[in-house]
A = this chain, B = another copy of it.
Amino acid sequence: MLCVGLDTDINKIPAFLRQNFDNPVLEFNKRIIKACSDFAVAFKINTAFYEARGVEGWHDLAETIKMIPRDIFIIADAKRADIGNTSKMYAHAFFEVLNADAVTVAPYMGFDSLSPFLEYKDKWTIVLALTSNAGSKDFQYLRCDDDEYLFEKVLEKASRWGTPSNMMFVAGATHPEELSDIRSIIPYHFLLVPGIGAQGGDLHSVLSKAMNKDYGLLVNSSRGIIYASDNEDFDTAARLKAKELRDIMAAYITE
């Protein structure tokens, strides 16, 4: 169930990479991917960290996706969505040009902003429901209509636009008390769960509350794994951290 987040910030990677390699970001990603591939079922690439370096960053984003073994699921964490003709362009960008398996989308603009993503066969659309950040309190917890929270409305309505075979939802580990509720609204969909590690969410709570019979979870860790060490052993440290998380998950599956 482990997803490793490649939120690669050129200013946070070990200094020796910046000093010794023409493309330190790609070298970092290559080593992280190699080190974690035995334990990760998915890599999540946060597009912001690549766009922040302009054309060069967009190049590295494309090259990073090519380096990931094809049996590992690739999520473009892009938080896109716009009117239909525009979402169609984003879907083309992420599913065809970059060849990601999944892309994260924001639900605010409704059905026709998500449907162009859902039209792709064998691709996945991951809809923000309850995010891991403090700002999730601002709108996602508004009481709507019949006293449901906005994030519950999003789960109910958006889950009817896709199926458990082409749609997932983002549910932050920082809201353990809501995970059971979310699981009851969408018993069959996979959840992409950010927020363990640097953001303070607890892996055990996530596993005990949100697993389903297919496991049904992709639990992401970014900074906690990729920046586990800032020395030359960073890939070994990342591997150990990934294994540690994988072992906790494996124990829950065995139980």
- Contact surface of A with B, Cβ cutoff 8 Å: 7, 9, 46, 48-49, 51-55, 57-59, 62, 77, 79-87, 89-90, 92-93, 97-98, 106-114, 128, 131-140, 142-145, 150, 153-154, 157, 194, 199
Q: Which residues of B contact A153 (CB under 8 A)?
A: 139, 142
- Docked pose: A110 CA to B150 CA in angstroms: 13
Asked whether, in the complex, the Cβ of A136 is within 8 Å of the Cβ of B150, the reply is no
Distance (whole angstroms) from the CB of A131 to the closest CB of chain B = 5
**Which one of B89, B131, B143 lies within 8 Å of A144 (CB-CB)?**
B143
Q: Which residues of B contact A114 (CB under 8 A)?
A: 135
Asked whether, in the complex, the Cβ of B109 is within 8 Å of the Cβ of A131, the reply is yes
- Docked pose: A228 CA to B157 CA in angstroms: 38
Q: Which residues of B contact A143 (CB under 8 A)?
A: 144-145
Asked whether, in the complex, the Cβ of A139 is within 8 Å of the Cβ of B157, the reply is yes
**Which one of B92, B112, B128 lies within 8 Å of A108 (CB-CB)?**
B128
Jot down 29 A-B pairs with beta carbons below 8 A, ordered by A: A9-B89, A46-B89, A48-B93, A49-B86, A51-B89, A51-B93, A54-B97, A55-B58, A55-B62, A79-B80, A79-B82, A83-B133, A108-B140, A109-B128, A109-B131, A109-B133, A109-B136, A110-B133, A110-B136, A110-B137, A110-B140, A111-B135, A112-B134, A114-B135, A138-B157, A139-B150, A139-B153, A142-B150, A150-B150
Q: Which residues of B contact A135 (CB under 8 A)?
A: 83, 109-114
Q: Which residues of B contact A51 (CB under 8 A)?
A: 58, 89-90, 93, 97
